[in-house]
Amino acid sequence: MNAPAAEQVDDDLWSAIGDPTRRRMLDLLLSEGEGTATTLSRRLPVTRQAVAKHLVVLDRAGLVRGRPAGREKRYQVDDAQLARAVAQLSSVGAAWDARLQRIKRIAETVQRTRRDPKHTQDQQD
Amino acid sequence: MNAPAAEQVDDDLWSAIGDPTRRRMLDLLLSEGEGTATTLSRRLPVTRQAVAKHLVVLDRAGLVRGRPAGREKRYQVDDAQLARAVAQLSSVGAAWDARLQRIKRIAETVQRTRRDPKHTQDQQD
DNA sequence: TTGATATGCAACCAAAGGTTGCAGGAGGAG
DNA sequence: CTCCTCCTGCAACCTTTGGTTGCATATCAA
């Protein structure tokens, strides 16, 4: 691991789950199994139309699938895609974590080195 | 765990790391230790001014701290805060994961129930 | 048929990410 | 000290995006 890395992630996916309203929608869809723009909007602080737009975004990101049912259109989470999203989330988290760890190690090395100026084995990136 | 939950998360923090440019900036700051608006902008596809605005956002979110050094202003990541952000990231990921797991269990239960219509122990939310 | 409800589309608004342009402060060479 | 360079900060402006209101359309039920 040498390059900047850690950002091979679909930016689309990120921006999809980056929005707080959309995250709440995913929560709702997960806990209730499915929902329409109307039912979701009843439990959210935004209008039905706003929810509808978010559903389009989530749909394009593949996180959610909708099918018409009579006069309404029911949406539900695409389990596989959301699982993938979760994986990417934790991937970025892990990358940052790793860097933080490395920084901590370097800091300690520097401490050691100051007391003991010999054998300065480089622990750089 | 009964309520919607999974969204105790600082929305500020999320929107801070929700932006792809800001994520790349964090990556850069982590890998290079520190940087100014100018140095960062040289390795990003946006102008110095855009980077400066992002630095303000990151600063307000507490993820980054900047101190003046002569004519330039050097920024570096606040390790503790970023660690906290990572924790929240994986927290949301874990919550979704848990729900996905539960859904899978329920699905299996339904399967079982179909073959064996007795003792339908509810495994609902 | 009529009424209620769900969707879809369009116009319009405000905030956010970006850009260009410009004024000003801090260092270094003369 | 002066001039030139480089980095910062501020302002105006553009575009995208999350949100709203308003209206037309389709479906279900009485």
**Domain residues of chain A, as ranges?**
8-78, 81-124
Per-10-residue mean pLDDT of chain B, 125 residues long, equals 49 89 96 97 98 97 96 97 92 93 84 71 47
* Ordered DSSP codes for A1-40: --SS-S--S-HHHHHHHHSHHHHHHHHHHHHHS-B-HHHH
Paired tokens of A123: 């622990």
**Partners of residue B13 on adjacent β-strands:** none
Spell out which residues of B between 20 and 49 contact strand D, using CB within 7 Å: 36-38, 48-49
Which residues in chain A have Cβ-Cβ distances shorter than 8 Å to B103?
Answer: 30, 79
List CB contacts of A121: < 8 A, sequence separation 6 or more.
A109
pLDDT level of residue A113 (50, 70, 90 thresholds): confident
Residues A28 and A34 sit within 8 Å (Cβ to Cβ): no
Which residues in chain B have Cβ-Cβ distances shorter than 8 Å to A24?
Answer: 4, 7
Report the SS3 class of residue B105.
helix
Percent of chain A, pLDDT > 70? 86
Paired tokens of A23: 């995250």
| pLDDT tens column, B24-47 | 999 999 999 999 999 999 999 999
Report the SS3 class of residue B35.
strand
Paired tokens of A18: 């980056």
What gap in Å lies between CA A94 and CA B86, rounded to an integer?
8
| Averaged pLDDT for residues A107-121 | 74
At A6 the pLDDT is: 46
pLDDT level of residue A118 (50, 70, 90 thresholds): low
| Chain centroid, CA B105 distance in Å | 28
pLDDT level of residue A110 (50, 70, 90 thresholds): confident
HSE value, Cβ hemisphere, 13 Å, CA-based, for B8: 9
Higher pLDDT: B22 or A11? It is B22
Report the SS3 class of residue A116.
coil
| pLDDT tens column, A52-85 | 999 999 999 999 999 999 999 999 999 999 999 9
Whole-model pTM?
A: 0.84
CATH number of A8-78: 1.10.10.10
DSSP B3: S
